[in-house]
Amino acid sequence: MMKFHRTYAIYALQLMTLALFLLHFALTVIYVSPVNPLRDTLEPLLNATIGAYFPQDWNLFAPVPRTADFALLVRPLNKNEFKAIRTRGLPKDGWYNLSAPLWIRFQSNRFTAYNKLGRPVDQAIAHYLTQPEQQSIQLMVKIASAFCNDTGQNQASFIALMIYERQSKPWTERETPKQRVVQTVLVGVYPVDRNVGKIHLYQRGG
């Protein structure tokens, strides 16, 4: 009889250990997974268990997705348009999106280098939004100047730089007709850097 109870206790202990292991493994997988509804629901439990005793600083499947799409908008300005800014403000037309063409080309062919070509623009925008330093502004000026040289904007003496931001839809609103929030951030107006050579990436009208 004692042997039976001892064997039963061993089996019960093994089952409990296995259950705890499976629970720990399941919580770990959910904890390191990208943002999703299940993770949001279990966040208090995850923070009290895995987050408290087994914190992770890496993601198992993918990094946390962006919460917004960003693009660099450029408006070449001739000397007369630059002088008119003080009284009329910046023109509403004639803006070029330097980021969208690279995204479209990369999405149509994943084996091209458009992803790498678009990284300087993304990095400059990200650095400027978190900490608007001169280095990120200079990089955006060089990219915009290269665009002007590529597209033959010889009359442009200045360039206006603006960051376009379109917020992602929350998961709970994914099926609703609610439009994504769009906002713009004016970086400033700067002289065209004619020392930047052609990069043969942009074409007029693109």
Q: Which of 98-102, 154-158, 182-186 has the lowest mean pLDDT?
A: 98-102
Indicate the pLDDT class of residue 168, thresholds 50, 70 and 90: confident
- Residue 61: per-residue pLDDT: 52
- Residue 140: per-residue pLDDT: 93
3-class secondary-structure state, position 11: helix
Between these two residues, 69 and 112, which has the higher pLDDT value?
Answer: 69
- Residue 62: per-residue pLDDT: 53
Indicate the pLDDT class of residue 141, thresholds 50, 70 and 90: very high
Q: Starting at the earlier edge strand, list the strands of the sheet with 96-97.
A: 96-97, 68-77, 158-167, 182-191
Annotated domain spans of the chain = 2-53, 68-191
